[in-house]
Amino acid sequence: MASAFNYPPEIKGKRKLYSLLKGVNHPLEVFSRNHEFAGDNFYINATLTHKKFIFSQDKEFVEYILKQNHKNYYKSEIQSVTLRKYLGKGLLTNNGKDWLRQRRLIQPGFSKVKIMNLVSIMQDEIDRSFKLFETRSETDLYVFFHKLTFNIVAKTLFSSDIDEEMTDELSRIITDVQEVSTKEVRLPFYAKFLALFGVIRKAVMKSKKARQIIQSILDKRRASSEEKNDLLDMLIQTRYEDTQQPMMDEQLVDEMLILFIAGHETTANALSFIFYEISRNPEAEKKLNKEILDEGESVFTAESLMKRSYTLNIIKEAMRLHSPAWAIDREALEDDSFKEYSWPKGTQIILYISGLHRNIKYWENADAFIPERFDDENSKNFPYYPFGAGPRLCIGEHFALMEMALVVRRFYRDFSFQSYQNQLKKKVLVTLRPVSVKGKIISK
């Protein structure tokens, strides 16, 4: 019986079997090869799970899903169900009216103006961390940035209300929970064994422990009645438009837990990729050093960090080549169509951002590191979505860009990084991360 829907070219037979088996551990390779074979859009019918998947690295299709018809698409079960039991009902895992209500509540606190007030907190933590390089010349920057970005989130959220011991405990718990949740998301059949042997239950208990720590910090802040102009103050003081009531504690804790995870993981990955690319491109490092000198005393001010600059061009280009958010998943709420294609409700849409960012249809010298391409006046129209797009554009975009610009400038003012690696091995989990970025720190 002929299908009532007109799907993109289908991946089937041996190629489908290869995709399903190898795609678990090597999704970038599998997705890229399938796109080479079938074009910018392809379809897979996962017979065993009775789910239909459309994959795309096409600019117009991506914008249709994320912007023009976003109301017909929710985040898939991967985030709205699987991750929710660990992270609660925050912005990352929520859908529909609940998500929109929370987004409207929290959005003003992440405006450029509000984020600029956090520069001094970030700067203090960065300076403290960089003291390590005065005594240690060799390092793995991926490990270093993971700790640094976690500490920055902790301090911008909680200021002095969180000490190093508490930060380390939260970091250990969240790392353990991420390891389990990632396995459950990427290996759904293996998840049954994780549940059988109590691994998932233990991870959920650890998540509850993290919530207890965050709740204790919240209680301490309320009891002190002290204003600290950090993100926690912003979350406590916000009020819903319709009721003028604040968030309940349970919701507050959920949002803070998600800010911890989303606020450090992708930024640590991005910084690792940025520093690797700078180390491989001496001319880019020279131009960066010149800009740091030319900016003079204003080089670390919020205004300088957030304006168009070569620093931001480097960050954008590294995130184009190595997008931490390498794919975006959505699920169709109703039947839909775009151009010649159509699909039923329940179809899983996988927007392959890493593929789009290297698609030769849109990018000249797509695999080359060329920060200058973002000098183009038309760069705003590039098919470039490292933070997503549409109403669900990452709420922390300004925070992350300012933080990364500050880290890059403060490092390259005093140091240089010489990578030991000619090639960068990557690990594809919920986010794209390097296995390591080992090298030598050179003082100027």
For the annotated binding site, the residues are 394
Q: Which residues are annotated as a binding site for heme?
A: 394
Report the alpha-carbon distance of residue 379 to residue 349 in Å, rounded.
26
Structure tokens at 400: 């992350």
For the chain, the three-class secondary structure string (H helix, E strand, C coil) is: CCCCCCCCCECCHHHHHHHHHHCCCCHHHHHHHHHHHHCCEEEEEECCCCEEEEEECCHHHHHHHHHHCHHHEECCHHHHHHCHHHHCCCCCCCCHHHHHHHHHHHHHHHCHHHHHCCHHHHHHHHHHHHHHHHCCCEEEHHHHHHHHHHHHHHHHHHHHHCCHHHHHHHHHHHHHHHHHHHHHHHCCCHHHHHHHCCHHHHHHHHHHHHHHHHHHHHHHHHHHCCCCCCHHHHHHHCCCCCCCCCCCHHHHHHHHHHHHHHHHHHHHHHHHHHHHHHHHCHHHHHHHHHHHHHHHHHCCCHHHHHCCCHHHHHHHHHHHHCCCCCEEEEEECCCEEECCEEECCCCEEEEEHHHHCCCCCCCCCCCCCCHHHHHCCCHHHCCCCECECHHHCCCCHHHHHHHHHHHHHHHHHHEEEEECCCCCCEEECCCEEECCCEEEEEEC
Dist. CA 167–CA 185, nearest whole Å = 26
Phi, psi of 74 (to 5 degrees): -105, 160
∠ CA 91-92-94, nearest 5°, is 65
